[in-house]
Structure 1
Amino acid sequence: MKSPIFNFCLSICIVALFCCSCKDNTKGKQKSELAQQSKKSLSSADSVLFHFWDKFAMQDTALVKSPEKGEQQLADFLQLLAQTPDSATRDKAVDLMLDKAQINRISFDYFIKQYEHYLYDGNSPMRNDIVYESVLRYLIKTDLLSNLEKEAYRPTYKLVLRNKEGQTAEDFTYELTYGKKQKLSDIKSRYTFLIFYDPDCSHCKETIQQLRDTPQLVQLFAQLKVQVVAIDPWGDRTKWKNYQWQLAEQWINGFDSESKILSFNIYDLKASPTIYLLDENKKVLLKDTYLQQVITYFVKTNP
């Protein structure tokens, strides 16, 4: 009998990857051979990253700025970086690429802008703080940039380091609809689906409606004991109160009455909505994610 989550996955056409396990009956020698093969595979993947730009002519400005050449090359590179779990490997790959780009300052500046566009723009489907962190680390240490130029990147670098996956989500206080105040850390649930929304944001409205009105989603969240926490951080009480009918009754509907989330950059709200998935201890499982990615995570971890 298939699990409810599996059936749910099929009903909304979300493709999920399942990890299979089997009994290990291999001998010590076979285990060693498998380990060596795995090591070789990882080394091969690293080698592809480290030599990805070897044959690319950074001095050719037209090539660099061509959407079919330079931009596509960067997009392919970013996909590989996003699949690389080791931060040291990502850092080295980015360092090698940007060191090579320094041969032409126009090329260097172009790629820096493209990195920001793909990895940090709130509207980019490829935005990825983990990969952008490697880029920012390079920018604040390279000798090519002046101290003033480096300082311009430090605030963003500090932001991407906050609330990373695996860290405890930073706590904050919010006001409830009946006036009481409580903290994020007060919530007791297996998972916390934290969504920062803007009442004027059409994409926020679409996400909220899908989360509220899709029966399979409602059932899934109830089954997994997921508490939805919807926070309006923008400080307009009237808009917040007028928006309450859009939210489900069982959700926590919070308002940052003192605007501390934005004022102190407690969370990086470059996109609306901004979604985090937290575990029962408020550790970040998914940062700045999408609803479908949350569902895929549930399918993979709760078969």
Structure 2
Amino acid sequence: MAKQQKDSILIERFWDTYDFTDTIRLSSSATTERMLVDYLSQLSELTEERACENIRRLVLKTKVNKVVNRWFLQRLEHHLYEPDSSLRNDSYYISVLEEVLTSGHLDGMMRIRPLYQLKMLKKNRIGIKAADFTFILSTGEFQKLWDISAKYTLLLFYDPDCIYCRQSMMELSESSVINSFLQHSGLSLSQLALVTICTEGEMDAWKEYQQSLPSVWINGYDVRKVLTEKELYFLRSLPSIYLLGEDKQVLLKEPSSIGEVTSYLLNKYDDI
């Protein structure tokens, strides 16, 4: 039997010997926490479909005891949903939410939070076309996202007062890979458009801040507040970054680092 197949079987059977009725074990939960982290880390060995099915089975197993179920759901939310988690995975957490909501264990007000999370996580997923919206430029002109012509569009939502946003934008401005793509144009199509959208704060603050941004970037402001009030995108934390393809389909959603974006671009183009 091939090693990969053996590893897959081990992951599939990871929780077979765990007693989900044992609440005493959770009184000192460090061991179970380590098991859960180890399990989630190994899920990438499976296809996404099998991994999601496996997580559903885990949630189902925990339902034998309310205390155990509540603990696992809280830890799964922490690891798979929180934006700062190194294990964050929208597809995996969608599977958790769908299993929770279809089980019938949650009633009334208890369903509001998971229903909202599920609705927001399903927006602008990888492989679908990103939602279009209109923003204003410093010239006073309006620009639609879908009207931007480029092989790739790097979309960054930010708040001028957010230190992490400033750090990410500085990293982008200093990236040799990003700058090479911005400067490289095909016969009829730019290789990369970098679009920054200010979603927070007053317009005067945005105008002052965007003057320090590279002129080759497309710097906009959500003057109509469609991103925050209509929640076209799930901006659970800022900065929030998307890499879009030529037809504005989502290629990367909230990557863990700028390096993940540059690696993706380099893998697609090795002649830049």
Give the structure-1-normalised TM-score. 0.80
Report what 2:149 is aligned to.
188
Could you say what secondary structure the match of 2:241 adopts?
Answer: strand
**Does structure 1 retain, via aligned residues, the 8 Å contact 2:129–2:250?**
yes
**Superposition deviation, residue 146 in structure 1:** 2.2
Q: CA RMSD in A?
A: 2.2
Report what 1:31 is aligned to.
none
Report what 2:159 is aligned to.
198
Q: How far apart, in 2, do the equivalents of 1:214 and 1:151 lie?
A: 42
Report what 1:166 is aligned to.
127
**Code of the aligned partner of 1:58:** F
Report what 1:54 is aligned to.
16
**Does structure 2 retain, via aligned residues, the 8 Å contact 1:141–1:150?**
no
**Code of the aligned partner of 2:250:** V
Is 1:128 the equivalent of 2:101? no
CA change 1:146–1:153 in 2 (3 A) is same
Higher deviation after alignment, 113-122 or 64-73: 64-73
Structure 1: gaps of 5 or more residues? 1-36
Could you say what secondary structure the match of 1:190 adopts?
Answer: strand
Q: How far apart, in 1, do the equivalents of 2:262 and 2:124 lie?
A: 20
Could you say what secondary structure the match of 2:196 adopts?
Answer: strand
**Does structure 1 retain, via aligned residues, the 8 Å contact 2:80–2:87?**
yes
TM alignment of 1:270-281, pairs within 5 A = 270-281=236-247
Aligned length: 264
Could you say what secondary structure the match of 1:69 adopts?
Answer: helix
Give the alignment partner of residue 219 of structure 2, picking from 253, 260, 272: 253
CA change 1:83–1:54 in 2 (3 A) is same
Is 1:116 the equivalent of 2:39? no
Q: How far apart, in 2, do the equivalents of 1:286 and 1:270 lie?
A: 16
Report what 2:262 is aligned to.
295
Structure 2: gaps of 5 or more residues? 186-190
**Does structure 2 retain, via aligned residues, the 8 Å contact 1:139–1:150?**
no
Give the structure-2-normalised TM-score. 0.88
CA change 1:222–1:149 in 2 (3 A) is same
Task: Map Cα deviations across residues 164-195 of structure 1 (whole Å, 9 max, x no partner).
Answer: 11100010110001111111001001100000
CA change 1:167–1:107 in 2 (3 A) is same
Q: How far apart, in 2, do the equivalents of 1:75 and 1:243 lie?
A: 40
Question: Which of the pair has the greater relative contact order for Cα pairs under 8 Å at 6+ separation?
Answer: 1
**Does structure 2 retain, via aligned residues, the 8 Å contact 1:235–1:256?**
no
Could you say what secondary structure the match of 1:195 adopts?
Answer: strand
**Does structure 1 retain, via aligned residues, the 8 Å contact 2:159–2:201?**
no
Q: How far apart, in 2, do the equivalents of 1:65 and 1:284 lie?
A: 42
Could you say what secondary structure the match of 2:150 adopts?
Answer: coil
Report what 1:6 is aligned to.
none
**Superposition deviation, residue 74 in structure 1:** 1.4
CA change 1:206–1:99 in 2 (3 A) is same
Could you say what secondary structure the match of 2:70 adopts?
Answer: helix
Q: How far apart, in 2, do the equivalents of 1:261 and 1:249 lie?
A: 24
**Code of the aligned partner of 2:228:** L
Report what 1:244 is aligned to.
210
